[in-house]
Amino acid sequence: MKAMVLHERGRAGVALREMPAPDCPPGWARVRMVAASVNRVDLYMRDSGAGITHDLPLIMGVDGVGEVIDAPGQPHLAPGDKVILYPYEFCGHCRACLAGDQPLCHSARILGEHRHGTFAEEVALPARALVKLAPEADMERAAVLGVAYLTAWRMVFGKAPVGPGSVVMIQGAGGGVSYAAVQLARMAGARVIATTSGADKLAHFRARGIEVIDYRSEDVPKTVLRLTGGEGADLVVDNVGEATWGASLRSVARGGHLVTCGATTGAHPSADIQRLFVRQISIHGSTMGSMDEFRRLIRAWEAGGFTPLIDRAFSLAEVPEAFAHLEDPARMGKILIRIS
């Protein structure tokens, strides 16, 4: 089968190759991939991969959707069923798995990181890591839910749940995960304040009724305080890291929360312990979401709660171009890979 493979580190190491179709042990299912999405971690794998146990060549791609080819002994999965792939091959019997917290599985293998991924014509996974979609599901929208929207779901609902009456401030709101957080928080009835830059992005948010701060020209914490009558945000979502951490902490309301799933600009700002205890602030690290959160996300999407934003679509052979597009600061929302 054809697959987009990382055969050596760096941009030149990503190429479409013929690869053997995957094995399908008992309890597993084979899926004919329909579409996948590009995630920031793909660039990390391409350029470094440090700290992640894996071998090259590696089929890339963390999330996606497809149709069941076969699922021997799994009566709830029939050939042709539309399915979405949970991005972790989790063990199902460790303490974390038995507690329903699959992202903390002691032996989780992430697709496209520790094992072959979704940029391929076929993928095999334990049947328990597949969630069935409705026959009428829009597969291209579904293809981008697995990482960005699931990660945003846990950030917005899993640590310090937001809802009507909450104020959520989201840093760098044009990115895939951050944009998803904006949509999920709005769907839940929260008031959202987004920071971004560039006239197009500012206009995009304003057109959707979202308050927006241009972080290049405005003082973010001062503006958040002004917009909230001096209180600050109940929840701040910050995946930017060092460049924004201090401003994020100064934007949180007393008794409020800051949640992070990434630190692209650096991971070592000051912890500012005194601010934390004087103002009773909580900080939460978050990664992915559980199978239960995945089902809730899919259910909310199927009910029409939100429509994933797709910036642009590429073919499987164009993954290198899709990676380049991911690094374009003007991009907004998710990048799709069409496979079949």
Q: Which listed option, a copy of itself, Zn ion, none, makes contact with residue 260 (CB within 5 to 8 Å by class)?
A: a copy of itself
Q: Is 49 exposed, middle or buried (0-12, 13-18, 19+ CB in 10 A)?
A: middle
The nearest distance, CB 76 to Zn ion, in angstroms, is: 11
Q: Judge whether 36 and 337 are in contact, CB under 8 Å.
A: yes
Taking CB under 8 A as the criterion, the residue among 41, 169, 291, 335 binding a copy of itself is 291
Interacting span for a copy of itself (CB under 8 A) from 38-46, 213-221, 285-293, 320-328: 285-293
Interacting span for Zn ion (CB under 5 A) from 29-37, 101-109, 127-135, 161-169: 101-109
Q: Is residue 91 within the footprint of Zn ion (CB under 5 A)?
A: yes
Taking CB under 8 A as the criterion, the residue among 173, 194, 202, 283 binding a copy of itself is 283
Rounded distance between C-alpha atoms, residue 235 and residue 185, angstroms: 10
Rounded distance between C-alpha atoms, residue 67 and residue 51, angstroms: 32
144 vs 297 by CB, closer to a copy of itself = 297
Rounded distance between C-alpha atoms, residue 21 and residue 124, angstroms: 9
| Site residue total, Zn ion (CB under 5 A) | 5
CA angle 60, 63, 68 (to 5 degrees): 105
Rounded distance between C-alpha atoms, residue 82 and residue 77, angstroms: 9
Taking CB under 8 A as the criterion, the residue among 133, 180, 194, 263 binding a copy of itself is 263
97 vs 120 by CB, closer to Zn ion = 97
Q: Is residue 97 within the footprint of Zn ion (CB under 5 A)?
A: yes
261: left (phi > 0), else alpha (psi -120 to 50), else beta?
A: alpha
Taking CB under 8 A as the criterion, the residue among 276, 310, 312, 338 binding a copy of itself is 276
Distances (CA, A) of 332 to 147, 148, 245, 307: 16, 12, 22, 14
Rounded distance between C-alpha atoms, residue 214 and residue 199, angstroms: 9
Q: Which listed option, a copy of itself, Zn ion, none, makes contact with residue 261 (CB within 5 to 8 Å by class)?
A: a copy of itself
List, as one string, the DSSP characters of 69-95: EE-TT-TT--TT-EEEE-SEE--SSSH
Q: Residue 286 gets which letter from DSSP?
A: -
Q: Which listed option, Zn ion, a copy of itself, none, makes contact with residue 291 (CB within 5 to 8 Å by class)?
A: a copy of itself
23 vs 277 by CB, closer to a copy of itself = 277
**Which residues contribute to the site for a copy of itself (CB under 8 A)?**
26, 92-93, 95-96, 98-104, 127-128, 157, 159, 161, 163-165, 184, 187-189, 191, 241-242, 245, 254-255, 260-263, 267-287, 290-292, 295-297, 299-300, 303, 305
